[in-house]
Amino acid sequence: MNTGKKAFVVLLLLLGAWSVNARAEALVFTAIPDQDESQLQIRFSKVATYLQQNLGVKVRYLPVKSYAAAITAFKNNQVQLAWFGGLSGVRARMRVQGSEAIAQGYEDQFFKTYFIANVEQTALSAPVADLSALKGFTFTFGSKGSTSGRLMPEFYLRKQYGVAPQEVFKRVGFSGDHSRTIALVQSGAFQVGAVNYKVWENAVQQGLVDEAMVKIIWETPTYSDYQWSIRGGTEQRFGTGFKQKVKTALLTMDDPELLRAFPRQSFVSATNADYEEIKQVAKSVGLID
């Protein structure tokens, strides 16, 4: 075989290897750990299978231990797609130029937080007109990085009292996730707490809440919350048009079992502009610069 033919064969082999590697490269996504971790692993593994079938690339779900870990994985390109809360999404996109919110749950257009109370410990068995009745109780937020479990409830508490929550309550805690918030208030470990309304409703449907012991006493006005964010530069890795392909796969997800992983009735289009209010609220509370 002459030199020219050898070079041509080598080039074909290299191109073939590159093609195989490109096809083998996986899209990795994560989700903030706002509920029981083992359940999230089961649910999002099924979402990974759905995305893989629709995107034509390998897709893998990467579980994380905290909201901060989800943001770090996004920043470091360990994941290219993430199911974030409003605040965690803003924080993550600020760290990677060109990142975009591409889809949100239908319900995320008008999300809200419930303030819940242990009836026996507070004598609060009915909704209150405002948050003034909570002064002096013990209180738990969810995760420190949660939109519905920390940012928005803290915003409305500061609006009510004009001071930080630590100056309002006898003791302030951070449960780590919404499921634990419900459990802590139900057990009496904390008298009052703030919880994602979707997690609350899901827990009620599953019979995990003693509604004679724990009551919703106040709810926030609505705000935009969870969303899928895609990392800037992802199309350089997977090809032009890949972002739209991911968005289309999310918007056309209609399997009830998959949607229960979130839980949402469907997904709708989203943009970074939908979360500008969250960004401004976070600045006002001092959670971002």
User: 117 with 215, same domain?
Assistant: yes
How large is the average pLDDT for residues 208-234?
96
How large is the average pLDDT for residues 124-144?
95
pLDDT of amino acid 236: 95
Nearest alpha-carbon partner for 227 in 58, 59, 74, 60: 74
User: 237 with 101, same domain?
Assistant: yes
- 261 close to 149: Cβ distance less than 8 angstroms: no
Cα separation, 98 vs 153, whole angstroms: 30
The whole-chain average pLDDT of the chain stands at 91
Pick from 187, 219, 251: which residue ends a domain?
219
How large is the average pLDDT for residues 127-131?
95
Query: Residue 97: how many CB atoms within 10 A of its CB?
Result: 9
Put residue 241 in one of left, alpha, beta given phi > 0 → left and psi -120 to 50 → alpha.
left
What percent of the chain shows pLDDT beyond 70? Answer: 91
Q: What is the pTM of this model?
A: 0.84
The answer to the question of residue 289 being in a domain is no
The answer to the question of residue 165 being in a domain is yes
The answer to the question of residue 284 being in a domain is no
Task: Provide the sign of the torsion angle of the four alpha carbons 165, 168, 172, 175, taken in this order.
Answer: negative
**Interval 93-121: pLDDT, tens:** 999 999 999 999 999 999 999 999 999 99
The answer to the question of residue 287 being in a domain is no
User: 54 with 191, same domain?
Assistant: no
Cα separation, 73 vs 79, whole angstroms: 6
Domain count, the chain: 2
Domain range for 140 is 112-219
Nearest alpha-carbon partner for 91 in 16, 144, 27: 144
- Is 178's pLDDT higher than 80? yes
CATH number at residue 263: 3.40.190.10
pLDDT of amino acid 116: 98
The answer to the question of residue 56 being in a domain is yes
Confidence of residue 138 (pLDDT cuts 50, 70, 90): very high
How large is the average pLDDT for residues 211-223?
96
User: 129 with 204, same domain?
Assistant: yes
- Is 142's pLDDT higher than 70? yes
User: 135 with 211, same domain?
Assistant: yes
- Is 11's pLDDT higher than 80? no
User: 19 with 150, same domain?
Assistant: no
**Interval 233-288: pLDDT, tens:** 999 999 999 999 999 999 999 999 999 888 899 999 999 999 999 999 999 999 99
- Is 141's pLDDT higher than 90? yes
- Is 14's pLDDT higher than 70? no
Q: Which residue has the higher pLDDT, 42 or 185?
A: 185
Cα separation, 277 vs 164, whole angstroms: 20
242-251 and 37-55 helices, crossing angle to 10°: 120
End-to-end CA distance of the chain: 65
